[in-house]
Amino acid sequence: MTIMKNQSLHRRNFVKATGSAIGGVWIANRTGRAEGFWQANDRPRVAAIGTGSRWCQKATGLQGSYGSAPDFKKYGDYVSVFDADRSRTELAAALVKEWTGNQPATPNDYRAILEDPKVDIVHISTPDHWHAKLLIEAMLAGKDVYCEKPMTLTVPEGRAICDVAKKTRRVVQIGTQQRSSKQFIQAVAMIQLGRIGKIIKATCHIGGAPTSPEIPLADPPKHLDWNLWQGPAAVAPFRFLAGDNGETKSWSRCHYEFRWWYEYSGGKLTDWGAHHVDIATWAMGLTDTGPSEIIPEMVKHPVEFRDGYPTDPSRYNTATEFFIRVKFQSANLQNANLQEDAQIEIRHDGDNGIMFEGTQGRLFVNRGRIAGKAVDDLKDNPLPEGALEQAYKNRPLVDHFRNFFEAARDRTEPISDVHSHHRALSTCHLAGVAARLNRKVVWDPKSETILGDPQAQNLLGREPRKGFQTQMS
């Protein structure tokens, strides 16, 4: 696989991108394809960076693995696909040809996509440790972006993304699709309308992470560029063990299983946490602030940790069981529907979903149901007309992908914007730092720094590997 010597975009792309944004013109309008994309000949042109399990079983060879790519084809046309695993690039290209009748480009370097003026939208579905670099570089290249969750690997990455998004005015949707699910929107509307009184606590039941046997060293498959796959992360040897495990039928440091290594992910805290903590933060009106204390009441890791780092490189290392309490300063609780000591709890146990506890009752919501007395009472006391649309940023309720494409067309903020996601995800990242050190972390949401604990502050960010830094200007 060809890797360009310059791992960062040139400054000229930043000037081109910001120049177009400041003028209020979507760069794709030059071709006449961006606006009115409901017409067959005006559909946006999409490029995919990362074509793994967020595509579908036909593109990965996996069973029952359907993701967002098939939904994307309703609203835009994939014209280019790229993955560090060439076999996945080829499978995705075959799928696109089946959808569109046209063979997409399959460049040997993802930057060819960012440099291509014919690409309107970039769809990022790489492992987590690549998200921030690709998202920032895509925005600087003048592209709108749909990025799978979680948006970042670290808190500083989120701050940088928010700054670049504000500067370039690109439209970015994060793949926290629960924000576009009716039962979650209904829960948010009910809570914000005070249907269960003042919120005392939201408990996010996100499930635990798996363990692994010892995974031996192995040679990477020839179709995988292991150096490129690692990208900004520190270099580590490839490990692989075949077996009846998960959708890849293996244990590894790579496809899908990357979720269980702190080097590339935050484990369940940022996997399902990115969904449920996001909804809790949104419903409680906390998307403009953050917690003050993150307390790991109970944490279990599958390997021994020393100074916040795993000591065994041969096994999965993210937390398998946890109960983490998140407190907020009363000065940061602007929502009148919150008690002064309102909290969020993040747990591995319990029924997957979110339990909101208020002074007048409880409300539970997950992807299958919404339940509680307040829900039963809707029969005689329905929500006001337009309440769901108001919660949904005063837009009609549509699926998550259409919301993004409409926002890109109209130059409006999508439902899962980078700023609110950054705040919610920061709570997940801080929970990870507290879990790794197994001690309380004190957070200043204004300066976005950990107070009085240099070791914890050091764990907050990651130094990207040389050659894979992100150019910010």
CA dist 251 and 249 (Å) reads 7
Residue 213 carries which DSSP code?
Answer: -
CATH of domain 11-178: 3.40.50.720
pLDDT of residue 472: 72
* Averaged pLDDT of the chain: 89
- Per-domain boundaries in the chain: 11-178, 180-396+416-459
Residue at 52: amino acid letter: G
User: 65 falls in which pLDDT band (50, 70, 90)?
Assistant: very low
Tell me: the pLDDT tens digits for 350-384? 999 999 999 999 999 999 999 999 999 999 999 99
Asked whether the predicted pLDDT for residue 31 surpasses 60, the reply is no
Q: What is the pTM of this model?
A: 0.91
User: 73 falls in which pLDDT band (50, 70, 90)?
Assistant: confident
CA dist 104 and 416 (Å) reads 28
Strand pairing partners for 293? 327, 442
Asked whether the predicted pLDDT for residue 204 surpasses 90, the reply is yes
DSSP secondary structure string for all residues of 300-321: E-SS-EETTEES-TTS--S-SE
Residue 119 carries which DSSP code?
Answer: -
Selecting from 3.30.360.10, 3.40.30.10, 1.10.10.10, 3.40.640.10, what CATH number does the domain 180-396+416-459 have?
3.30.360.10
User: 40 falls in which pLDDT band (50, 70, 90)?
Assistant: low
Q: Is the distance from CB of 208 to CB of 268 less than 8 angstroms?
A: yes
Tell me: the pLDDT tens digits for 120-163? 999 999 999 999 999 999 999 999 999 999 999 999 999 999 99
User: 458 falls in which pLDDT band (50, 70, 90)?
Assistant: very high
DSSP secondary structure string for all residues of 229-293: HHTTSPP---BEEESS-TTTTEEESSTTGGGG-TTT--THHHHTHHHHHHHHHHHTT-TT---SE
Nearest residue to 122 via CA among 137, 102, 107 = 137
Q: Is the distance from CB of 66 to CB of 173 less than 8 angstroms?
A: no
pLDDT of residue 10: 39
